[in-house]
Amino acid sequence: MFRAMLDRSHTAITYRYERWRAVPAGVIEAAGTVFLLLIAVRHYQAGPLAKAMIAGGGSVGLILSPWVVSRVEAAGWPVAKAAARLAGLGALSLVVMAMVPILPVFVAGSVLAMASSSAAIPLLTQIYQENYPERERGRRFARTMMIRIATAALFSDLAGRALSGNLDQFRWLLGIFAAAFAFTAFCLGRCPSRPLTVSGGTHPAWGDAPRGRSPCRAAPTRSARCATRATTGCSAKP
C-alpha cells in the first residue's frame, strides 16, 4: 500500500515538472534548430565549418551520451540531478556567449549548450521508466511533447518577428535561451530519481541483462524504445 502511494506521488511530481519543463524545452528546440544558425550566418558571417559545428551540436551530445551515462553511474548521482547539471552547463554556456560576442565563443558555446541538452536524453528516459507506470507512460509523454511542440512553434514565430531587422540585438535572445536552460535545470532537479544501478556501462533505456547474457545484448523494452525514439527525433537537426 505504502509503495503504491509512493509510486503515485512520484508519478504526479514528475508529470507536474515535466509539463513545466516542456515550455523551456520548446524554446531550447527553437534555439538549436533555427536561431543559433541564423545568428551565426547573419550576424557573424560564419563559414562552412562553423555552421557545420553549430548544426551538429545536438548530434555531438548523442554521441557522448553513453559516456555521460557511465560517468553518472560511476559518480552515483541520481539521474534527475545529473540531467539538471547538464542543463545548468547549457545555461552557463549561453551566458558566456551573450557576454563575449565573438565567433569562436559563439560556436563553442552553441555546441556545448546543444550537446548538453541531447546528452541528457538517456537520463530522461530513465526518469520516465522509474516514475511513470508502463500503461501511462506513452500518454503522459505525448501530452508534454505536445506542449513542447506548440511552444517551439509559437516562440519561433514571435522571436523571428522581434529579430526581423534587429538582428544586432540577438544577445537578449541568448539570455532567453539561458533562462530556458536554467528553468529546465530547476524542473529536473525536483523530479524523483535514483542513482543508476546498471553495471558495465549499460544504456539505461536497455534495462538489465538476463543472467548469462552480455548486457549489451539485452533487448530494450517496447516503451523505452518508443520514448527514446520520440525524444531523439525532436532533438534532431533539420
The full set of domain ranges for the chain reads: 2-192+220-232
At residue 205 the predicted structure's pLDDT band, cuts being 50, 70 and 90, is: very low
Q: pLDDT at position 7, please?
A: 63
- Residue 163 has a pLDDT of 87
pTM higher than 0.85 for the full model?
A: no
Q: In this structure, what C-alpha cell is assigned to residue 16?
A: 507536474
Of the candidate ranges 18-22, 136-140, 182-186, the one whose mean pLDDT is the lowest? 136-140
Residue 177 has pLDDT above 80, yes or no: yes
The fold of the 2-192+220-232 domain, in CATH, is Growth Hormone; Chain: A; (1.20.1250)
The 10s digit of each residue's pLDDT in 85-144 is 999 999 999 999 999 999 999 999 999 999 999 999 999 999 999 999 989 899 999 999
Which residues have CB under 8 Å from 238's CB, separation 6+? 33
Q: What is the pLDDT of residue 196?
A: 86
Share of the chain above pLDDT 90, in %: 71
